[in-house]
Structure 1
């Protein structure tokens, strides 16, 4: 009965939210309040026979590029603009790829989604493929023809050794997702430049991308419960800190029927990871997450549903004993199938990866060196921990493996 009540209430809220959004769009349009429109293309993924294209059409709120000397007020203003978005429903876009043209229409939240099928299988000269998008029509007073964007779609090459699926919050960057106040401070008071990655992450991820074939073609996928409103911030964060580019698979944010009551974190991440593994049935994966939320449990379910597909899983310890206990329970449950390693820092993960042949042995030293640099960029913080030096015995063991 309670589930039926939730569904009915959720449906009512969804209908009310949709009605209000439509009313506000018409009101802003009538008063000439819409700013120029722009297309926000999302990094996505595909195969030689199909490209998944997704993005959003919004009014351009003028979110400025991040700088290290940005004031708190500027960061807060940019964040407000991200969440106070003016989406454009029923906008018509032309998607072009290899001289083929497709038409797609945005939904009520301004999103467009297209599964594009090339006439012939793609030639994998590059891991990334460019798709042209043009806004051809919108019932908005500020609409002007000629608004274009370029989407980038990742297609793993056949000689990739493995793929990497990584969380973002508290895995790559400090977020404190288990503490609402601290999470708000990290998220809203910083920008893509002032939010720093955990020490050594960029070097470790580049070593995984390089793998052991030296081609730097192992694909990355970033699955997060962060809302799509933060896409530009996370996209820029990865680029600025030289962390391998990959599709960003985020979550919708709003009064939607199946999202209003909040428990969608686990189902969202599991669904996205499942889709990746189904898309690439011949590619195995390394999973990277943290102990702060549901990553160990989500990865356990992935490992069970896709036996033999997960090479190993690295879980960053967020230093909460009760969370570490959950990881240990999952470790014990999976010990006969896949290693789930709880690591204190990135260097520890790199050591394990080198010892097991996932990365070159000399990459461990690069991760350590990068960790020291990252630590010096954030003096006096307890969140950026320099790794403990690797002993000669450990290094010798690694070189012999």
Structure 2
């Protein structure tokens, strides 16, 4: 990520009086919000140190090409027995994980992290939330590869990265909430319930979506599958376990951080998705994407906007229609923007089976082969479970 250019030095005399006092007050308030958040995290870190907790690198799945890799992780304070290989372990994983456990480990801001990829070692910095999102230049073979991460003497953490072959021309981007898992996320109360309270084993997969995704991969085995969500990095491992347990294809999760920023109270989920899609278009200039989402948030609007700006990078847009009750809880349905993207095919359907039939009609799926063979997840992503002491 490019560093910000420092602003030129100014004095009070250089700055003319501004009538925008309300805007200034808002910026000051938002700065106070980030300051308070940082102090809260600092208090939690000191408490964690007193309890003997150590820096731990939580490993997330990354992606790349044969010449570079994007590494994603998060550095938190945790007891030694809480994580193995960067993944949370305890008997509660067997018995059911309540979502609030994902938010109890305080982040380590600006932690120095060493990344070993392709036989080379790189040093990068986490952001103020402890999140590492770094691109390093490394020569790696196509397919699933492993990267090692370590921070401040922590135990090494191994994470999977998918290296896309230079000849791949098709990829899949899928939303998560209400697309592959039924969460009713847009409604604030249910969002909090699903994130902090609900047993992760009680989350409901969307019928037919896993089979549809695997059928896509059967025809394009080397294609990347990337899950794009407005969810927090805190729930990345919970979502990974959900995807594995419900036989979804393995792939990177592109999530975001909750809380205030330097210029706003809350991060924009819509902006996050737009930014990540544009980045994928730059990362893989020769890939055409199947964009999969639902009509309960902004997915149709976001995908249509992307298709208008990059018509040569969209193979089809696939929208799962919420049920009437789900649409009510989601705050209504998004507008249908199909007429605004001439030349880009759209599919609308209530589940994976219906959407698959429409993809067959477009020639994207093989109509003579309705079954799919789930792909094996990489070995380092298998989550071992040990009993707590």
Q: What's the TM-score bracket when you normalise by the shorter of the two chains?
A: 0.7 to 0.9
Q: Who is 2:294 aligned against?
A: 290
- Which of 60, 78, 84 aligns to 1:42? It is 60
Gap regions ≥5 residues in structure 1 = 138-144, 371-401
What is the CA-CA distance between 1:87 and the residue it aligns to?
1.4
Please report the TM-score for the alignment, with normalisation by the length of structure 2.
Answer: 0.80
Superposed CA RMSD: 2.7
User: Partners in 2 of 1:117 and 1:304 — Cα distance?
Assistant: 31
User: Partners in 2 of 1:209 and 1:337 — Cα distance?
Assistant: 24
Secondary structure of 1:260 counterpart = coil
> Contact 1:88 / 1:110 at 8 angstroms: preserved in 2?
yes
Is 1:160 equivalent to 2:160 in the alignment? Answer: no
What is the CA-CA distance between 1:4 and the residue it aligns to?
4.4
Is 1:312 equivalent to 2:297 in the alignment? Answer: no
1:126-141 alignment to 2 at 5 Å?
A: 127-135=143-151, 137=152
What is the CA-CA distance between 1:97 and the residue it aligns to?
2.0
1:245-264 alignment to 2 at 5 Å?
A: 245-261=250-266, 264=268
- Which of 9, 13, 17 aligns to 2:37? It is 17
Q: Deviations over 1:47-67 (max 9, x none)?
A: 222111121111236355688
User: Partners in 2 of 1:181 and 1:146 — Cα distance?
Assistant: 37
Decide which moves more: 182-191 or 305-314: 182-191
What is the CA-CA distance between 1:205 and the residue it aligns to?
0.7
Secondary structure of 2:70 counterpart = strand
- Which of 131, 142, 161 aligns to 1:111? It is 131
- Which of 236, 250, 270 aligns to 1:266? It is 270
Is 1:362 equivalent to 2:382 in the alignment? Answer: no
Q: Who is 1:56 aligned against?
A: 74
Please report the TM-score for the alignment, with normalisation by the length of structure 1.
Answer: 0.77
> Contact 2:260 / 2:266 at 8 angstroms: preserved in 1?
no
Q: Who is 2:3 aligned against?
A: none
> Contact 1:225 / 1:251 at 8 angstroms: preserved in 2?
yes
Aligned residues: 343
Q: Deviations over 1:233-266 (max 9, x none)?
A: 001111111111111000101222345245x011
> Contact 1:210 / 1:218 at 8 angstroms: preserved in 2?
no
Q: Who is 1:374 aligned against?
A: none
User: Partners in 2 of 1:25 and 1:69 — Cα distance?
Assistant: 28
Distance 1:345 1:66, change over 3 A: farther
Is 1:171 equivalent to 2:160 in the alignment? Answer: no
- Which of 225, 228, 231 aligns to 1:223? It is 228
User: Partners in 1 of 2:169 and 2:343 — Cα distance?
Assistant: 20
Gap regions ≥5 residues in structure 2 = 1-19, 83-87, 375-389
> Contact 1:67 / 1:193 at 8 angstroms: preserved in 2?
no
User: Partners in 1 of 2:93 and 2:113 — Cα distance?
Assistant: 36
User: Partners in 2 of 1:348 and 1:209 — Cα distance?
Assistant: 18
User: Partners in 2 of 1:14 and 1:111 — Cα distance?
Assistant: 16
